[in-house]
Structure 1
Amino acid sequence: MTSSYAQDGLEGRAAVVTGGTRGIGRAVAERLVAAGARVCVTARDADEVRRTAAELGGVGVSGSVADPAHLREVVDTAMGAFGRVDVVVNNAATNQPYGPLMDAEPGAWRDAFVVNVEAPLVLVQGAWRAWMREHGGSVVNICTEGAEHVGPNLGAYGTSKAALLHLTRQLAGELAPKVRVNSVSPGLVRTEMARFVWEPDEERVAAGLPLGRIGEPEDIARAVVWLASEAARWITGADLLVDGGTRVRTAHPGPGYAVHDLLRSYAPPRS
């Protein structure tokens, strides 16, 4: 694919994107390829991984990020195909257990941290040992604007993403100057994972946001690829908020914000 983003400094680089077959992950993978990078995608559905890898001209590995052996295979596959791993995008996540924390089972709570916090660390460790320790690179973790405030029923998700936010800063300090580590915190985006929030009353939700619409995966992908690129070469340990103005909605003169009301009423599909 011809690069239209050569100025981003990703020509010839290699990237790993978890949860890379749909939603934000797919949009990130597509934009990385457009910027000249080669991409290894991973997700649980083997058919989707094969199809996405073929469409992007890259490689793919199916499996769960909760399995450290799978993450080792991802790094090995990328190294075998490309001979390098310059960029890691930790996008795969779970929003389970959903509901009040007083009802959360300890096992489900731990599972959220395995997927949302431990897996990103394990993948970065693998990329560091295989390539980045000697050659440098960039890591972008997908967090959430909800990591900075509280809301109904997503306590495990928000708490684990807050931990990922701190992990981002910790790794940025430990891996400098070789590797830059940053995060992007999306607001409500049109993805399958968030469908239960926006689909029942999208017009009302969008009207409550200062920018007047919910996000698209491409909105997040643009931010991720910019942070991963040389255009952001003097940025590390930062969190880029891409939320359509969610944080400033209390000053917005439009109608009331509806997401918290919806979160009290709807349950997401299990992931």
Structure 2
Amino acid sequence: MSGARSIVITGGTRGLGLGLARSLVALGHRVTVCGTDPDRVAAAEAELGVPALVADVTDRARVQDLWDEAVRRHGRVDIWVNNAGISHHRLPLWRLPAGEARAVVEVNLLGTVNGCAVAAAGMAGQGGGHIWNMEGLGSDGRTVPGLGVYGATKRAVTYLTGALAKEAPDGVTAGLLSPGMVVTDLLTYGYSEAERERAGRIFAILADPVEVVAPWLAERLVSRARNGAHVRRLTAAKIAYRFAKAPFVRRP
């Protein structure tokens, strides 16, 4: 893809989503975002000068409203990014409260299903477009004790994206964005102080701030929007290199 694009980002009022919106606006693209916190939505709209809606991705009608507003303001949607996601307290499955488990499944998986369904149908009607889904811990099948529900949703999103790439309407493509470890509140959510201290040693080597990850990802989510695309920031080779250099490199 080349030229300015109309791009929708769910969960685009905080963390990596907001960072992506900032980077894409700086590149000259027309961005629309949503979030669930009215104050954050208003702040994003004021800062970025973009359409911002209060929308819960677990409600398909509200996701449709997001699509409709982006089309009303920008004429079409070229790229849709299913970024909205939440985590849960770091607890074994049988100790995780039912409501908390349900919320994670609904936002991370059902929310992505809703975004894919609305975007695919709308893009079919306009003659094409690209859908990106966001990977996370668990996408590669690796298990981490205490994060079973979160990891299961991300594993499911990876499968869902592969299926969508095969069954999407003509002209509609789908792919995966894998940002690696990003320093946001999602990364450390649910950790005790002791767990956060232990994990901090790994984060210091592998995690990058939003200000580093977002511009890198923003450029590629536009330039690599093709069917079955898989954009990975933190590859196995990069991980090995960072650990090898860790004793000699001081990271912020």
State the aligned residue count. 242
- The answer as to 2:178 corresponding to 1:185 is yes
Tell me if the contact between 1:97 and 1:109 (Cα under 8 Å) persists in the aligned partners. Answer: no
Q: 1:198-255: CA deviations, max 9, x gaps?
A: 9646762245x3xxx52122444245433432x325x422332223759844994477
Matches within 5 A, 1:167-246: 167-175=160-168, 177-196=170-189, 200=197, 204-206=201-203, 209=205, 213-229=206-222, 231-233=223-225, 235-243=226-234
Which residue pairs with 1:165 in the alignment?
158
- The answer as to 2:113 corresponding to 1:116 is no
Q: Whole-Å Cα distance in 1 between the matches of residues 227 and 215 of structure 2?
A: 17
Report deviation, 1:54. Answer: 2.5
Which residue pairs with 1:265 in the alignment?
none
Matches within 5 A, 1:30-41: 30-41=22-33
Q: Whole-Å Cα distance in 2 between the matches of residues 224 and 206 of structure 1?
A: 19
Q: Whole-Å Cα distance in 2 between the matches of residues 232 and 241 of structure 1?
A: 11
What SS does structure 2 have at the residue aligned with 1:78? helix
1:143 maps to amino acid: E
What are structure 2's unaligned runs of at least 5 residues?
Answer: 248-252
Tell me if the contact between 1:18 and 1:89 (Cα under 8 Å) persists in the aligned partners. Answer: yes
Q: CA distance change for structure 1 residues 159 and 10 in 2, over 3 Å: closer, same or farther? A: farther
Q: Whole-Å Cα distance in 1 between the matches of residues 39 and 135 of structure 2?
A: 27
Deviates more, 1:96-105 or 1:146-155: 96-105
1:190 maps to amino acid: V
Quick one: which of 100, 103, 115 aligns to 2:92?
100
Report deviation, 1:155. Answer: 0.7
- The answer as to 2:64 corresponding to 1:72 is yes
Q: Whole-Å Cα distance in 2 between the matches of residues 137 and 65 of structure 1?
A: 20
Tell me if the contact between 2:130 and 2:174 (Cα under 8 Å) persists in the aligned partners. Answer: yes
TM-score (structure 2 length as normaliser): 0.82
Q: CA distance change for structure 1 residues 144 and 36 in 2, over 3 Å: closer, same or farther? A: same
CA RMSD, Structure 1 to Structure 2 (Å): 2.9
Which residue pairs with 1:267 in the alignment?
none
Q: CA distance change for structure 1 residues 156 and 246 in 2, over 3 Å: closer, same or farther? A: farther
Q: CA distance change for structure 1 residues 220 and 54 in 2, over 3 Å: closer, same or farther? A: same
Q: Whole-Å Cα distance in 2 between the matches of residues 72 and 225 of structure 1?
A: 24
Quick one: which of 55, 61, 65 aligns to 2:53?
61
Q: Whole-Å Cα distance in 1 between the matches of residues 199 and 176 of structure 2?
A: 27
TM-score (structure 1 length as normaliser): 0.77
1:236 maps to amino acid: N
Q: 1:113-148: CA deviations, max 9, x gaps?
A: 221112122122222333444321111111114322
What SS does structure 1 have at the residue aligned with 2:143? coil
Q: 1:65-123: CA deviations, max 9, x gaps?
A: 12222212111211221121111111111112641123245554343222111212212
Q: CA distance change for structure 1 residues 66 and 30 in 2, over 3 Å: closer, same or farther? A: same
Q: Whole-Å Cα distance in 2 between the matches of residues 206 and 193 of structure 1?
A: 13
Report deviation, 1:52. Answer: 0.8
Percentage identity across paired residues of the two chains: 30
Report deviation, 1:160. Answer: 0.4
Q: CA distance change for structure 1 residues 216 and 251 in 2, over 3 Å: closer, same or farther? A: closer
Which residue pairs with 1:136 in the alignment?
128
Q: Whole-Å Cα distance in 2 between the matches of residues 250 and 157 of structure 1?
A: 28
Which residue pairs with 2:250 in the alignment?
none
